[in-house]
Amino acid sequence: MTGQAALTPQGSAPATEPRTAAPTDWRSDAMRRRIARRYAAERRFKVLGLAAVLLSAGFLAFLLVTMVGNGARGFTRTQIALPIDFQRSAMLIDPALLKGDTAEQALAGANLPAVIDTAADKAFGEGGARMISPAAQAAVRKAILADPAILNGTATITVPASEGVDLAAKGDGSAADETAVARLKQAGALSTGLNLRFLTASDGTDPTLVGIWGALKGSLLTMAVTLALSFPVGVFAALYLEEYAPRNRWTDLIEVSINNLAAVPSIIFGLLGLAIFLNLMHMPRSAPLVGGLTLALMTMPVIVISGRNAIKAVPPSIRDAALGIGASPVQVVFHHVLPLALPGILTGTIIGMARALGETAPLLMIGMRAFVASPPHGVMDPASVLPVQIFLWSDEVGRGFIEKTSAAIIVLLAFLLTMNSIAIYLRNKFEKKW
């Protein structure tokens, strides 16, 4: 449009010519067929969608039912009421030492395993010792500490049954163990209780001894390291790239690299962690610190990508408003853009963290498949993590480990669910109503 030439006086537009074509027949056969096809397409779409939803729901239900069905037994244990005659046992202990700090030490040297084996053989006949789990020691020790007076006579202490008896009592044992269970039932010594040890102990050699706490704590520490590193780095990288970085070939290259990084198979991150953190920086093997750092490398690109999308989604009018009253670019970012983008960033973070929590391969590369029988006390201690623990137990020969594996999966899923719930809570908290 240039100058006067473009000015068209109003009212001089050509009048619309009268229509000469026949009016549309909305009731013709062709029309009806078109309508029928439209309705059919809509029905097909609905049915397909519903089928997809039902299929996923079915898989989920199958997974949950199998896991809970198998795993629930991992949280219970078969117990045997074992009468022990401390007076006539081969117990070597000075009752005076049972007070204060020396108690644990005194009991450790008191030859408890022999005492228990003798008592079991005496109570349930030949082979009685094999019905009792090695975990019985801890139960007896606890009972003595709680009431040292029982040492003066006979006491009946409830102790965990051995792997074989436990399986047989749960209806999945060998013929020999079935007889043992029958014998114990006859003696009225059998009961079922909650397996608290599973929630408080670490890995072990006997399925009645093992617990998930060591792996759970290892996962917690690893996730803490991952979050502490990947969240700030990811968010700052996203903010810089979206708000400050000039658009040029270098930033394009960085963007492509980050997108590619998010798609790199996790085992490669494990090799990277092995090469850098263990071989180059000589950090301890199997440590949550190294695991966390390795997983952070993997999680960071996910946070950067989701963060950039969330930042992009903040309406420009809010930036204008803040700049317009003299907010500096940093104030615009931290007072307005970041709070508004936070729900989106958190969603991305939780997706990344959930993936990291379930990751096994890279952790195997940095030595986290070691047998660790005590929970880690810090990020430098050797530790296991939940998915690796599940992997290790699923590889065990002992049949008692099957239910432990399922129980560990339940714990992992519960952990995941808790993490997601916290993220959803935080997201809803920060979400602004417009």
Partner 1 sequence: MADMQHIPNAKMSAQGVNVFYGDKQAIKDVSIEVDLENVTALIGPSGCGKSTFLRTLNRMNDTVAGARVEGRITLDGDDIYGSDMDVVQLRARVGMVFQKPNPFPKSIYENVAYGPRIHGLAHGKADLDEIVEKALRRAGLWDEVKDRLHESGTALSGGQQQRLCIGRAIAVEPEVILMDEPCSALDPIATARIEELILDLRGNYAIAIVTHNMQQAARVSQRTAFFHLGRLVEQGPTTEIFTNPREERTKDYITGRYG
Binding residues (CB under 8 A) for partner 1: these are 1-4, 6-10, 247, 315, 317-328, 331, 335-336, 340, 432-434
Q: Is 364 exposed, middle or buried (0-12, 13-18, 19+ CB in 10 A)?
A: middle
In angstroms, what is the minimal distance from the CB of 431 to partner 1?
10
SS3 state of residue 366: coil
E strand segments, 205-246: none
In angstroms, what is the minimal distance from the CB of 337 to partner 1?
11
In angstroms, what is the minimal distance from the CB of 240 to partner 1?
16
DSSP 362-383: HHHHTTTTS---S--SSTTS--
The smaller minimum CB distance to partner 1, of residues 16 and 317, is found at 317
The smaller minimum CB distance to partner 1, of residues 73 and 308, is found at 308
In angstroms, what is the minimal distance from the CB of 7 to partner 1?
5
The smaller minimum CB distance to partner 1, of residues 154 and 328, is found at 328
The smaller minimum CB distance to partner 1, of residues 318 and 419, is found at 318
Query: For residues 376 and 225, is the Cβ–Cβ distance under 8 A?
Result: no
Q: Which two tokens stand for residue 376?
A: 């880690």
Distance CA 421, CA 231 (A): 18
In angstroms, what is the minimal distance from the CB of 56 to partner 1?
35
In angstroms, what is the minimal distance from the CB of 257 to partner 1?
22
Q: Looking up tokens 């219970």, which residue turns up?
A: 76
Q: Which two tokens stand for residue 156?
A: 């009946």
The smaller minimum CB distance to partner 1, of residues 1 and 263, is found at 1
Nearest CA among 294, 298, 287 for reference residue 384: 287
Number of alpha carbons in the 13 Å side-chain half-sphere of residue 366 = 39
Distance CA 56, CA 54 (A): 6
Sheet (strand 190-194) strand order = 154-160, 76-85, 190-194
In angstroms, what is the minimal distance from the CB of 259 to partner 1?
22
Name, in order, each residue with C-beta under 8 angstroms of 72's C-beta and a sequence gap of 6 or more: 407, 410
* Alpha helices by DSSP H, 2-132: 29-71, 102-108, 112-124
The smaller minimum CB distance to partner 1, of residues 26 and 434, is found at 434
Q: Looking up tokens 């909305």, which residue turns up?
A: 26
Determine phi and psi for 160, rounding to 5 degrees: -65, 145
The smaller minimum CB distance to partner 1, of residues 337 and 353, is found at 337
In angstroms, what is the minimal distance from the CB of 4 to partner 1?
7
The smaller minimum CB distance to partner 1, of residues 188 and 324, is found at 324
The smaller minimum CB distance to partner 1, of residues 319 and 355, is found at 319
In angstroms, what is the minimal distance from the CB of 349 to partner 1?
21
Distance CA 419, CA 225 (A): 15
The smaller minimum CB distance to partner 1, of residues 206 and 243, is found at 243
The smaller minimum CB distance to partner 1, of residues 213 and 240, is found at 240
In angstroms, what is the minimal distance from the CB of 338 to partner 1?
13
For the chain, the straight-line distance linking the first and the last C-alpha, in angstroms and rounded, comes to 40
Number of alpha carbons in the 13 Å side-chain half-sphere of residue 83 = 12
In angstroms, what is the minimal distance from the CB of 251 to partner 1?
12
Distances (CA, A) of 316 to 241, 242, 258, 331, 413: 16, 12, 25, 15, 40
Around Cβ 170, how many Cβ atoms within 10 Å?
16
Query: For residues 304 and 318, is the Cβ–Cβ distance under 8 A?
Result: no
